Chain A
Amino acid sequence: MERRDFLKISAIAGATAALEGCGNPDHQLIRFVPEEDLLPGIATWKPSICTQCPAGCGMMVRVMQGEAEVIRKGQLGLLKMGLAKKLEGNPAHPISQGKLCPRGQAGLQVTYHPDRIKNPLVREGARGSGQFKEIGWDDAIKQLASQLSTLHTSNPPGGLAFVTGPLRGQRKTILDAFTTSFQGSYAVGAAFLDDSVARAANGASFGHAAPGTVDLANSNYVLSFGADFLGTWNSPVAQNVGFGHMRKGRPGMRGKFVQFEPRISQTGASADEFVAVQPGAEGVLALAIAHVVIAEKRKPLASAGHAGSLIDGWAQGLPDYAPEKVAAQTGVKAETIARIAREAASHDPAVAIIGDSATAQTNGYFNALAVNALNALLGSVGKPGGILFGAGLNAQASKSGPASLELFASQVSSGAAPVKVLLVYNANPIFSAPTAWGVRAALDKIPFIASFASFMDETALLADLILPDSSPLESWLDDVPPSGSAKFVMSVAPPAMAPLHDTRSAPDVLLDVAQRIGGDLAKALPWKTYDEAIQAAFAALYKEKGSKTAKDADEFWSRAKDQGGWWTDEPSATANGASGGRPIKASAAQFDGEASQYPFHFLPFASQLFYDGSLANLPWMQEAPDPLSTVMWGTWLEINPRTAQKLNIQRGDLVEVSSPHGKLQAPALIAPGVAPDVVAMPIGQGHESYTRYASGRGANPISILAPATVEGTGALAWAATRVKLSAVGRSAMILFGGSLTEASPELKHR
């Protein structure tokens, strides 16, 4: 080859290479016409409400224009739209005060979850087969409306049932309208964790059937009986902010915090003093503390008022509860009881809190009454640093709580409840009920089941019709949080973004159906869309309370939407109006299962990440290490080190846990913070079906629970099950997010 030729060829080859690859890239998605006019690259913050647990924290959502891959009219394409990018607490909101817990943060993943149900579905194969056909909304609403219309015409008693999570605000109004219009219908609460025992006890002791708000910020001595108030109990974010103020917000004052429970929870790990107590003996322990306070004349026993009179023996100074007499029963030394009683009585304001497993025993109601009496004695009810009951707080408190799921299931199975149509909203009763309740068999008997689920969970799989709810960030939201602030709070938030998929907000669907059914139901719900309903609620609120800043109802509504709600200082009610009720003697907690056959107390606990299991579908929550154990993506069983040694169980060994009602397997974790005769397991995993991240992962402790009831209420006593353990003989892999710390020598159980 000649030099000239070489240079020519090089030049041509080089030019070809440079021009290679130009033009339109193929396989580019089509672009839909944008529906909004946003400025790209500039973020706005919009108010919202967190719905990941019942606390009702106010949020801010950062929204920015982005491109989402969506399906419109069956075609995949790109759509420029405002997209929620980050969630934070709303600084102005009295509950969250600018903070947000990890569960709240993960709410973002609900909207963008790849396994969301993207359009209405109708069942094709057998129930539970998971075979569904996509249908349009017109079709879906027609089907639901026709089922309900037919039922409404004949209106047989008990024909309609709702199974829901805790509903507040105008969602509750809509539910109430339906259950009033359909004769004898059932409104069943399926939440595993609820405050029904606290409400009942507070109603009896103080005349306020409400959870109350603990004013931690101003407290000097906190006695918590089993309540994980810094983690999952009641209103965790508000309680964390209050606790922070208690510790560091008052120069020179730090307060003292004592936690009584059979297993160190995340809250227990933050206590100044942790006292292990026998499961079910929390009420007796509270009364022993009260005994010392009364006996040493630190507080007059009459100051406990009506709450004290509900305890048998109070007027005599609680002779049966002298510390020496109850030391064995409670597992707490008499000197410890006496010392703590003296400290609490001499550091006003002192407050006692009870929750979680302490109220989930068969004697949970008694335990709550006992703690209420102690609070009244210490003088903390209705005072700063104690328990506050807002005067107008529970405008929405129903006279009777939701119907019990256990009773509902047994009545449906026996035929006593002739339910024809079941609507499931914000609930997964198959997962959150013990197998012993027979919920699955009961649902089999119901001819038509419609679900508003956003994800194909165990209960949605059994539905005949699915009308997928839009995610909270895509919906109008309103809330009346019952606890977390001394102020009266009514929250409202417009949708932060348009729906990504072909979903509709469940309240909108119910309003549409109500109009189609007509009659008294349509009159009770005269709104076309849910925002009209919320606006009506705010108009009523303006009429009732007025406003210092808004000059009319329209301005009131507009301001409320801008800031995320409306709140006002409320005078706190004292304990009054309570009367009646016979004094109750202490009852020992009953446990299901013979102690000789089933030697261990089984203690399921709410997960910091999955709460009651409804957040297990969120990968951020799966990969977040549990704060105490650092376990990720799995279940574990906490066993005391001495117990493990006796049973020859090591970390990671697969253990079979059997109760009289079922069995499960979980890998063992040696946990020094668990009493020797207690084994503990987090709730949340063990879903048979709940998106790719949670399906078939771990074990569900709820499934093996005994159908025990909290006496005096209808609530499930979920801490009343006994189990036996056996090593399966294999090891399971546990993923740890942090390094394992060996047991600290100071942590000793007797």
Chain B
Amino acid sequence: MCRFRLSNYLRIAIAVGAVVLGLAILQRVLPAQSADTAAQGQSSDQFTPSHRTISGAIREFFYIRSKPVQPIAYTHKVHLGNGMQCTDCHVGVDQGPDARIPSVNFCMTCHQVIATDKPEIKKLAAYKARGEDIPWQRVYGFEPEAHVKFNHAPHIRAGVDCSVCHGDMRQQTVAERKVDHTMGFCIDCHKQKGASVDCVTCHY
């Protein structure tokens, strides 16, 4: 019998490989976690975990967020470059919690006639023809576990520019998350501006 000696590094590699394989199997057995559906754990009679999968839990811990894939390659650069303002589309931003993304009807008011030959605009028209709204995927948001209720209106009233939290959208085509909304990011600005840092201001 020959002695099969494993180096220490190989032992570690095997151990890590086994864990990753296990996660991969879990990933196939359990459905993939989506960025914008609420985390629903696999509940048992006694325990309902806050994350659906272990990989989901690990990702949340390290603030790894999946990159959203949008149904239409909307480009902020072109629209803002043509003189539109943020609030032309995101109308709710100074009125309440949600900035709002307009429905397909709003886009079609212009795109009935503008750039109708472009493939992305054709996709837009197809949604409208089917009577469906565009299923935009969420780019910015907080995990449900954070229990954060964010309200846009007070921030606009305080004069905070959109680009402070969302980056310079004039450089972006499809919306990307350029700014990480960690709690530190929020608290830093709140402290600087003298806004309340009481827990209950945002977590309730």
Q: Which residue of A lies closest to B134 (CB)?
A: A31
Residues 47-89 of A at the B interface (beta carbon under 8 Å): 72-73, 77, 80
In the assembled complex, B64 has its CB within 8 A of some CB on chain A: yes
Q: Which residue of B lies closest to A72 (CB)?
A: B131
Question: In the complex, are the beta carbons of A39 and B95 less than 8 A apart?
Answer: yes
Give every chain B residue within 8 A of A28 (Cβ-Cβ): 34, 135
Question: In the complex, are the beta carbons of B16 and A3 less than 8 A apart?
Answer: no
In the assembled complex, B2 has its CB within 8 A of some CB on chain A: no
Question: In the complex, are the beta carbons of B66 and A9 less than 8 A apart?
Answer: no
In the assembled complex, A146 has its CB within 8 A of some CB on chain B: no
Contact flags (1/0) for B25-38 with A, using CB distance below 8 Å? 00100001111110
Indicate which residue in B9, B96, B103 contacts A6 across the interface (CB closer than 8 Å): B9
Q: How far is the CB of A498 from chain B (nearest CB, A)?
A: 15
Given the known A-B contacts A6-B12, A21-B27, A21-B32, are A31 and B133 also in contact in the complex, defined by CB atoms under 8 Å? yes
Ranked nearest first, the 10 interchain pairs of A and B with the lowest CB-CB distance are A25-B34, A41-B97, A22-B66, A40-B98, A31-B133, A1-B10, A6-B9, A42-B96, A41-B98, A1-B9
Give every chain B residue within 8 A of A1 (Cβ-Cβ): 7, 9-10, 13
Indicate which residue in B10, B17, B20, B128 contacts A33 across the interface (CB closer than 8 Å): B128
Give every chain B residue within 8 A of A21 (Cβ-Cβ): 27, 32-33, 55-56, 59, 66
Given contacts A1-B10, A33-B103, 12 further A-B contacts (CB under 8 A): A5-B9, A6-B10, A9-B13, A10-B16, A17-B55, A18-B62, A18-B64, A24-B137, A25-B34, A28-B135, A39-B100, A42-B97
In the assembled complex, B104 has its CB within 8 A of some CB on chain A: yes
Indicate which residue in B10, B12, B67, B71 contacts A22 across the interface (CB closer than 8 Å): B67
Complex CA distance for A276 and B23, rounded to whole angstroms: 71
Give every chain A residue within 8 A of B9 (Cβ-Cβ): 1-3, 5-6
Indicate which residue in B64, B96, B133 contacts A41 across the interface (CB closer than 8 Å): B96
Complex CA distance for A372 and B173, rounded to whole angstroms: 81
Complex CA distance for A33 and B105, rounded to whole angstroms: 8
In the assembled complex, B188 has its CB within 8 A of some CB on chain A: no
Question: In the complex, are the beta carbons of B16 and A13 less than 8 A apart?
Answer: yes
In the assembled complex, A30 has its CB within 8 A of some CB on chain B: yes
Given the known A-B contacts A9-B13, A30-B132, are A40 and B100 also in contact in the complex, defined by CB atoms under 8 Å? yes
Question: In the complex, are the beta carbons of B135 and A31 less than 8 A apart?
Answer: yes
Give every chain A residue within 8 A of B134 (Cβ-Cβ): 31
In the assembled complex, A34 has its CB within 8 A of some CB on chain B: yes
Give every chain A residue within 8 A of B137 (Cβ-Cβ): 24
Complex CA distance for A23 and B69, rounded to whole angstroms: 5
A to B CB contacts below 8 Å, 11 in the list: A1-B9, A1-B13, A2-B9, A5-B9, A17-B20, A24-B69, A25-B37, A31-B134, A33-B104, A33-B133, A34-B133
Q: How far is the CB of A23 from chain B (nearest CB, A)?
A: 5
Question: In the complex, are the beta carbons of B135 and A20 less than 8 A apart?
Answer: no
Q: Which residue of B lies closest to A28 (CB)?
A: B135
In the assembled complex, A32 has its CB within 8 A of some CB on chain B: yes
Q: How far is the CB of B112 from chain A (nearest CB, A)?
A: 15
Complex CA distance for A593 and B43, rounded to whole angstroms: 56
Indicate which residue in A23, A34, A39 contacts B98 across the interface (CB closer than 8 Å): A39
Give every chain B residue within 8 A of A73 (Cβ-Cβ): 131
Residues 62-79 of B at the A interface (beta carbon under 8 Å): 62, 64, 66-67, 69, 71
Question: In the complex, are the beta carbons of A32 and B64 less than 8 A apart?
Answer: no
In the assembled complex, B167 has its CB within 8 A of some CB on chain A: no
Interface positions of A (Cβ within 8 A of B): 1-3, 5-6, 9-10, 13, 17-18, 20-25, 28, 30-34, 39-42, 72-73, 77, 80
Q: How far is the CB of A81 from chain B (nearest CB, A)?
A: 12
Q: Which residue of A lies closest to B99 (CB)?
A: A40
Please indicate which of the listed interface residues A2, A25, A34, A77 has the most CB atoms of chain B within 10 Å of its own CB: A25
Indicate which residue in A10, A25, A40 contacts B96 across the interface (CB closer than 8 Å): A40
Give every chain A residue within 8 A of B56 (Cβ-Cβ): 21
Complex CA distance for A39 and B131, rounded to whole angstroms: 21
Q: How far is the CB of B104 from chain A (nearest CB, A)?
A: 6
Please indicate which of the listed interface residues A1, A18, A77 has the most CB atoms of chain B within 10 Å of its own CB: A1
Indicate which residue in B10, B27, B92, B100 contacts A20 across the interface (CB closer than 8 Å): B27
Complex CA distance for A473 and B41, rounded to whole angstroms: 34
Complex CA distance for A18 and B131, rounded to whole angstroms: 37
Complex CA distance for A107 and B147, rounded to whole angstroms: 30
Give every chain A residue within 8 A of B58 (Cβ-Cβ): 17
Give every chain B residue within 8 A of A41 (Cβ-Cβ): 92, 96-98, 151
Give every chain B residue within 8 A of A10 (Cβ-Cβ): 13, 16
Complex CA distance for A18 and B23, rounded to whole angstroms: 12
Give every chain B residue within 8 A of A22 (Cβ-Cβ): 66-67, 69
Q: How far is the CB of A610 from chain B (nearest CB, A)?
A: 31
Q: How far is the CB of B101 from chain A (nearest CB, A)?
A: 10
Complex CA distance for A77 and B133, rounded to whole angstroms: 10
Give every chain B residue within 8 A of A23 (Cβ-Cβ): 66-67, 69
Complex CA distance for A39 and B101, rounded to whole angstroms: 11
Give every chain A residue within 8 A of B135 (Cβ-Cβ): 28, 30-31
Given the known A-B contacts A1-B10, A10-B16, are A20 and B98 also in contact in the complex, defined by CB atoms under 8 Å? no
Give every chain B residue within 8 A of A40 (Cβ-Cβ): 92, 96-98, 100
Complex CA distance for A5 and B16, rounded to whole angstroms: 14
Question: In the complex, are the beta carbons of A25 and B32 less than 8 A apart?
Answer: yes
Complex CA distance for A124 and B105, rounded to whole angstroms: 41
Q: How far is the CB of A436 from chain B (nearest CB, A)?
A: 47
Residues 35-57 of B at the A interface (beta carbon under 8 Å): 35-37, 55-56
Complex CA distance for A80 and B133, rounded to whole angstroms: 10
Complex CA distance for A28 and B134, rounded to whole angstroms: 12
Question: In the complex, are the beta carbons of B55 and A20 less than 8 A apart?
Answer: yes
Q: How far is the CB of A19 from chain B (nearest CB, A)?
A: 8
Q: How far is the CB of A434 from chain B (nearest CB, A)?
A: 44
Q: Which residue of B lies closest to A43 (CB)?
A: B96
Give every chain A residue within 8 A of B13 (Cβ-Cβ): 1, 6, 9-10
Give every chain B residue within 8 A of A2 (Cβ-Cβ): 9
Complex CA distance for A24 and B92, rounded to whole angstroms: 26
Q: Which residue of A lies closest to B56 (CB)?
A: A21
Residues 130-146 of B at the A interface (beta carbon under 8 Å): 131-135, 137
